[in-house]
Amino acid sequence: MNKTALITGITGQDGSYLAEHLLAKGYAVHGLVRRASMFNRSRIDHLRSPGGRTGRPSVSVERLVLHYGDLADLTSVRRLLRKLAPREVYHLAGQSHVGLSFEIPEVTCQENGMATLGLLEALRDLDYPVRFYHAASSEMFGSPRSGPQNEQTSFNPVNPYGCAKAFATQLCRVYRSAYGLFACSGIAYNHESPRRGENFVTRKITLGAARIAAGKQSVLTLGNLDARRDWGYAPEYVAAMWRMLQAKAPADYVLATGKTCSVRDFATAAFAELGIKLKFSGRGTAETGRRTDTGAIVIRIAPRFYRATDPSHLVGNAALAKKALNWTPKVTGTAVARLMARADYDALMSAM
Ligand code: NAP
Ligand code: GDP
């Protein structure tokens, strides 16, 4: 069996865990990386150089190959598909920040919407069978009236990011039925890890908590503490992506824990992991989080971190993934907060 996979977005959080997952299963893994003025490969360095950043040995330098390319340059991606003939393509690349999608809506829609269509067109022209994973998102549901959401819930996105993902997901369905393409969308709810981008609220909180616990920062400024998310653990989600492409038939699956917690709960758990008990006072922009031992304010609220519109009631029902893929996520919400806070604190201490 040809175990060759191409990952777009290999330098991102999910791409790095997926590369580990596929290498451990014996795949030859090819990753698309875009040119940046500084190297942007810190999440996969440990896979490429023995004893890299994490000190862990390389899984296999020979079976992991990086190629320059960009979603804005689909000719380069077409060329790679012809040259490598991967049997599985995991399309994870794109502008992944919902809040920023209000600042850069055109790039967000180009990368998450039109580039996915371009990739589908490229796959349609191939003369070998290929299986395609598309990284869809719970943000497509926007502010649903009912919950938990499943594969039948209608899309009602409330931000440019969700609109672009809904466009691409529907196109995957069209290419599946019109051309028989093995295309699957993982409708993933938020999944986090110590490799999460630093401007997502979870990582911002755990990095802030680690710095405050180490005496390197005094206050962390956040937005809407009442926002709730169905937060899972990224390594468990990449396992589901792989399972989706091993199934008999292509389908879309909700990937979710089915539980939510608030930003306030997440922060409380992250700080508690590092020995700081928080007490919140007030509501809205007047709210603060204080250390119970010293009374010092460690969390403040600033209107600039509020969203123009913020999805509510996002919680997923992953019953289909459980039944068809035997996939059940185990690490949820506050447990994710604790493991991320511990990892950030340990990394900070070892760098000091
Ligand atoms: P991430 O950490 O932001 O990684 C995004 C990846 O896309 C990075 O490798 C980035 O490269 C690459 N990329 C962005 N624009 C590109 C372009 N024009 N050309 C080539 N590569 C480009 O995101 P993630 O958390 O791993 O998420 C992976 C995918 O799942 C994304 O599509 C995201 O929208 C989707 N998703 C994520 C979640 C979640 O909770 N994590 C939930 C639902 C859906 P650089 O390293 O160079 O920036
Ligand atoms: P998203 O679900 O993909 O938008 O992930 P984020 O981590 O960016 O945001 C999750 C929720 O946290 C959203 O409802 C935000 O409004 C809320 N939030 C509260 N404070 C902040 C903050 O300081 N930064 C970010 N990024 N989100 C915040």
- Dig out the tokens for 169 from the structure: 């997901």
Cβ neighbours around 149 below 10 Å, total: 23
**CA 146, chain centre distance (Å):** 24
Q: Whose C-alpha lies nearest to ligand 1, atom 6?
A: 9
**Residue 123 C-alpha to ligand 2 middle, in angstroms?**
34
Question: Which residue has the least CA distance to atom 1 on ligand 2?
Answer: 98
pLDDT score for 311 = 76
From 112, 198, 201, 288, mutation site for ligand 2 pocket: most ligand atoms within 8 A of C-beta: 201
* pLDDT score, position 93: 98
Cis peptide before 105 (omega within 30 of 0): no
Whether the Cβ atoms of residue 89 and residue 6 lie closer than 8 Å to each other: yes
Q: How far is the CA of 281 from the centre of ligand 2 (A)?
A: 20
Span from the CA of 270 to the centroid of ligand 2 (angstroms): 16
315 near 259, Cβ under 8 Å?
Answer: yes
CB of 152 closer than 8 Å to CB of 322: no
Interatomic CA distance for residues 227 and 314, integer angstroms: 10
Asked if residues 5 and 80 have their Cβ atoms less than 8 Å apart, the reply is no
- The amino acid that residue 280 corresponds to is F
pLDDT digits (tens), the chain, 352 positions: 679 999 999 999 999 999 999 999 999 999 999 998 888 899 999 998 765 444 444 445 679 999 999 999 999 999 999 999 999 999 999 999 999 999 999 999 999 999 999 999 999 999 999 999 999 999 999 988 788 999 999 999 999 999 999 999 999 999 999 999 999 999 999 999 999 999 999 999 999 999 999 999 999 999 999 999 999 999 999 999 999 999 999 999 999 999 999 999 999 999 999 999 999 987 666 778 999 999 899 999 998 999 888 777 899 999 999 999 999 999 999 999 999 999 999 999 999 8
pTM reported for the whole predicted model: 0.95
pLDDT at 129: 92
Tell me the fold of 4-195+231-259+312-332.
Rossmann fold (3.40.50)
Phi, psi of 345 (to 5 degrees): -65, -45
Which CATH number does 201-224+263-309+343-351 carry? 3.90.25.10
Q: Give residue 285's pLDDT.
A: 63
Q: Specify the residue with its C-alpha closest to ligand 2, atom 24.
A: 201
For the chain, the structural domain boundaries read 4-195+231-259+312-332, 201-224+263-309+343-351
pLDDT at res. 149: 96
CA dist 213 and 217 (Å) reads: 8
CB 181 within 8 A of CB 132: yes
